[in-house]
């Protein structure tokens, strides 16, 4: 029976490259000279630092721009609140989301059921497996999910005939 998996995973190598490129540009830019602006990454957590809220927003904008150039969807980023770390210095923690949360998985399976297509969706951990009798039905389900679930960066993999 043909099937595919719906997943939501960021390419962590490209995220790391975007962080490194952001740091390189921060070092060379005139408006960041002599400041403590920087971007750090630990696993799936990015921390950005700046001397003031305005500078922090500039660093965040730079990081988002570099990620967009590296084809990393910015919907993976879950921005935390801005924290003061002493003096005027501030930092912000940004988490990189990987996997589909249970609520979102239920939303995807509900969209599949409501579409009246001859496919079934089942939650498999952090992904949703979609099975159907025909390949055309599965491709129609992919198109429907791309259109009906715009708030999540979805990918389709593990397509089997």
The pLDDT value given to residue 160: 85
Q: What are the residues whose beta carbons fall under 8 Å from the beta carbon of 72, sequence distance 6 or more?
A: 10, 11, 14, 15, 18
Tell whether the model's pLDDT for residue 66 goes beyond 90.
Answer: yes
pLDDT at 151 (0 to 100): 84
Q: How far apart are CA 161 and CA 158, in angstroms?
A: 10
Question: Would you tell me which CATH number, out of the four given (3.30.70.990, 3.30.360.10, 1.20.120.1770, 3.50.50.60), belongs to the domain 12-96?
Answer: 3.30.70.990
Domain ranges of the chain: 3-8+99-160, 12-96
Buried b / exposed e across 66-100, counting CB within 10 Å, b at 16+? bbeebebeeebbeeeeeeeeeeebbbbbbebbeeb
Question: 2-38 pLDDT, tens per residue?
Answer: 899 999 888 999 999 999 999 999 999 998 888 889 9
Is pLDDT at 95 greater than 90 in this prediction? yes
Same fold, 3-8+99-160 and 12-96: yes
pLDDT-derived band at 159 (thresholds 50, 70, 90) equals confident
| Per-residue pLDDT at 27 | 93
Q: Residue 45 pLDDT more than 90?
A: yes
Query: Please, what is the average pLDDT of the chain?
Result: 91
**Mean pLDDT along residues 98-122:** 89
> Residue for token digits 């969706």?
121
Checking if the pLDDT of 99 tops 90, the result is no
Residue 152 has pLDDT above 90, yes or no: no
Instruction: Please give the CATH topology (third level) of the domain spanning 3-8+99-160.
Output: Alpha-Beta Plaits (3.30.70)
Helix, strand, coil shares of the chain, percent, nearest 5, are: 40, 30, 25
Is 90 exceeded by the pLDDT of residue 90? yes
Whether residue 158 has pLDDT greater than 90:
no
């Amino acid at each position: 029976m043909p099937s595919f998996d719906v997943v939501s995973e960021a390419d962590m190598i490209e995220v790391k490259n975007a962080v490194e490129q952001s740091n390189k540009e921060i070092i060379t830019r005139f408006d960041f000279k002599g400041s403590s602006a920087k971007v750090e990454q630990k696993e799936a957590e990015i921390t950005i630092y700046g001397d003031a809220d305005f500078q922090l927003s500039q660093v965040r904008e730079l990081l988002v721009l570099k990620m967009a150039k590296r084809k990393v969807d910015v919907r993976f980023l879950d921005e935390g609140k801005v924290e003061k770390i002493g003096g005027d210095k501030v930092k912000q923690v940004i988490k990189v989301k990987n996997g589909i949360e249970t609520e979102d998985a239920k939303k995807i399976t509900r969209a599949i059921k409501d579409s009246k297509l001859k496919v079934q969706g089942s939650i498999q951990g952090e992904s949703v497996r979609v099975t159907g009798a025909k390949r055309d039905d599965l491709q129609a389900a992919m198109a429907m999910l791309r259109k009906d679930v715009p708030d999540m960066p979805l990918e389709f993999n593990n397509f089997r005939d």
